[in-house]
A and B are shown apart, each in its own frame.
Chain A
Amino acid sequence: AQSVTQPDIHITVSEGASLELRCNYSYGATPYLFWYVQSPGQGLQLLLKYFSGDTLVQGIKGFEAEFKRSQSSFNLRKPSVHWSDAAEYFCAVGARKNTNAGKSTFGDGTTLTVKP
């Protein structure tokens, strides 16, 4: 069964500082990997996703993530955080072959606080 671990429950960074949110997955083959963001009081929105090919994936709002097979990781990064990035971030893994294609397993989320 697939699973996702986000080791950091809460991260605080200063505005303008760099950001890295960690995500580790467990899956028997190369998975589909996603990062979603949830702003306060809202549903989740896709930031980026990895299917295959280039292991460095660019997303919206200046985010990127790198797939590292050897470490079973898909960490999210941003070089300079803005106050509007304060939100909860979810990593998710989707199976490549599944009788119920389209399902994803989500991590518990990381809450990002941005200090002025």
Chain B
Amino acid sequence: DVKVTQSSRYLVKRTGEKVFLECVQDMDHENMFWYRQDPGLGLRLIYFSYDVKMKEKGDIPEGYSVSREKKERFSLILESASTNQTSMYLCASSGRGSGETQYFGPGTRLLVL
């Protein structure tokens, strides 16, 4: 059974803190994604990685960075958390080919105070 896990389901952080969100997949997928989900705005792509150490900005990368040192792990970093980064964060992975299904983790709900 395919699995994408995220390190935390809920997180509460203070403004200005550095925040790490971890995602691990066990499907040997080349592609990994970080999305942000807000009511009425759907899923917005923050960053995309198509291989180890390779990354590409998505639609809303400002205020975020990512790290992919191993194929199975993709980390999202909030360098200095702000209240407008309070959101649900979803990680996903997929194979490399066009039209591949994305497999999602359960999400991390982040509250920045």
Q: Which residues of A contact B (CB under 8 A)?
A: 9, 32, 34, 36, 41-46, 49, 51, 90, 94-98, 100-104, 106-109
- Decide: A94 and B42 in contact? CB cutoff 8 A: no
- Decide: B43 and A102 in contact? CB cutoff 8 A: no
Least Cβ distance of A10 to chain B in Å?
10
Nearest first, the 6 A-B pairs at minimum CB distance are A43-B104, A32-B99, A108-B42, A102-B31, A106-B43, A101-B98
For B80, the chain A residues whose CB sits under 8 A away are none
Least Cβ distance of B27 to chain A in Å?
13
Binary interface encoding of chain B residues 17-51 relative to chain A, with 1 for a CB under 8 A from any of its CBs, else 0: 00000000000001101010000111101001010
Contact of B98 among A42, A94, A106 (CB under 8 A): A94
Count residues of chain B with CB under 8 A from any CB of chain A.
Answer: 29
Q: Which residues of B contact A (CB under 8 A)?
A: 4, 30-31, 33, 35, 40-43, 45, 48, 50, 56, 90, 92, 94-107
Contact of A101 among B96, B103, B104, B106 (CB under 8 A): B96
For A41, the chain B residues whose CB sits under 8 A away are 106-107
- Decide: B105 and A43 in contact? CB cutoff 8 A: yes
Least Cβ distance of A40 to chain B in Å?
11
